[in-house]
Amino acid sequence: MFHALVAIKQVPDTTNIRIDPETGNLVREGVPAIMNPYDAHALASAVEWKRKLGGKVTVVSMGPASFTVTIREAVELGADAGYLISDRKFAGADTLATSYVLAAVIQSIHEKDPIDVVFFGKQAIDGDTAQVGPGVAVRLDLPIITYAVKIRDINLAKRHIVVERKTERWTEVVEAPLPALVTCEKEIAEVPFAPLPDLIRSLRYEPEVLTMESTGIFDAEHVGVRGSPTVVFKMGTPPLPEAGEKINSREIGVEAAVATAFAKADAAGILSSVLGGVK
């Protein structure tokens, strides 16, 4: 039996985030919350392999009670069980404290019900750090395969996984022993439409909530703000560069507009240096 664990995060749809120019605070109102897209693809891959091998998919997510909808969404997409790791003491966690909590939970699930593959999205679109997956792998001493684009094979008898991972230079085919941790690109699997029974089940699904007290597995020193070595020093909007001149080609004609623009590039020594290198 295959047991996959998928770590998922709820994120604001980042295309809609802005800063209030008056207060300098993040404006979150009216910004839709979604399952981190990379996590959705990682989950889809886990569910595909569950259907191939037989077994189950467990999801975990760390966040406030509002993350329940994201766990329900995971159930809709084929997860069998979900845990919401939620405690005010976890608030303000940076990636180090987050990997601590996730690793402790994954370890405790693994002790009761051994896990073969831990799936993460390659990164979350709000923080874009790509640090929590590797952090959890290090804490659990699991082999890690990042930027996975295809799982070629999961062999439960031989206890190994074969994955294609894409780097900037090439695609690597990596074989690692199980259990292993994989962080996924979107290509790993298509997010399917939910089958009706899963959809119905998800509507009423209540994830088990894990807190400091209910689990007793966390050291208060390592969670939340206390467990986070980094702090935000300041936040702001990116500085605005100085805008250059605008030429209207409808007024002066296209060829004149191009000639004027290129003359400016010439004056900056750009075009001659560029064309000097072209044969």
Partner 1 sequence: MSARRFWVFIEQEEGKVHPVSWELLGIASRLASEVKEEAHAAGDTVHVECILLGNQVEGIAREAIKYGAERVYLVDEPELENYRNCPYYKCIVGVVRKYEPEVFLIGATTLGRDLAGAVATSLRTGLTADCTGLEMGEVKGSKQRLLLATRPAFGGNIMATILCRQNRPQMSSVRPRVFPMPPYNPEAVGEIVREEVPLDEKDTEARILEFIHDQAESVDIEYADVIVSGGRGLGTPEGFKLIEELAHELGGVVGASRPCVDAGWISYAHQVGQSGRTVRPKLYIAAGISGALQHKVGMQNSDFIIAINSDPNAPIFDVADVGIVGDLFEVIPAMIKNIKARKEALA
Contact by Cβ (8 Å): 184, 41? yes
- The one among 65, 157, 196, 275 contacting partner 1 by CB under 8 A: 275
State which residue, 200 or 225, has the beta carbon closest to partner 1.
Answer: 225
Q: Residues 242-271 vs partner 1: string with x where CB under 8 A?
A: -xxxxxxxx---xx-xxxxxx-xx--x-xx
Angle, CA of 69, 72 and 73, to the nearest 5°:
90
**Is 174 a binder of partner 1 (CB under 8 A)?**
yes
Omega within 30 of 0 (cis) for the link into 37: no
Q: How far is the CB of 242 from partner 1 (least distance, A)?
A: 9
Considering only 7-15, 42-50, 61-69, 205-213, which stretch makes contact with partner 1 by CB under 8 A? Answer: 7-15
Report the candidate in 167, 165, 166, 162 with the shortest Cα–Cα distance to residue 180. 162
Encoding tokens for residue 4?
């996959």
Min dist. Cβ of residue 54 to partner 1 (A):
26
Residues 156, 162, 194, 209: which binds partner 1 (CB under 8 A)? 162
- Quick check: 131 binds partner 1 (CB under 8 A)? yes
Backbone φ and ψ for 231, nearest 5 degrees, come out as -130, 155
Which 50-109 positions form the footprint of partner 1 (CB under 8 A)? 94-96, 99
Give the residue with the Cβ less far from partner 1, 51 or 264. Answer: 264
* Closest to partner 1 by CB, 81 or 163: 163
144 touches partner 1 by CB under 8 A: yes
Spell 154-193 as b/e; 16+ CB within 10 A means b: beeeeeebebbbbeeeeeeebebebbbbbbbbbebbebee
Task: Scan for tokens 């109102």, then name that residue.
Answer: 29
State which of positions 11-40 bind partner 1 (CB under 8 A): 12, 14-15, 17-19, 26
Distance, in Å, from the CA atom of 47 to the CA atom of 39, rounded to the nearest integer, reads: 12
Does residue 184 sit in helix, strand or coil? strand
Q: Which stretch binds partner 1 (CB under 8 A): 57-65, 82-90, 176-184, 194-202?
A: 176-184
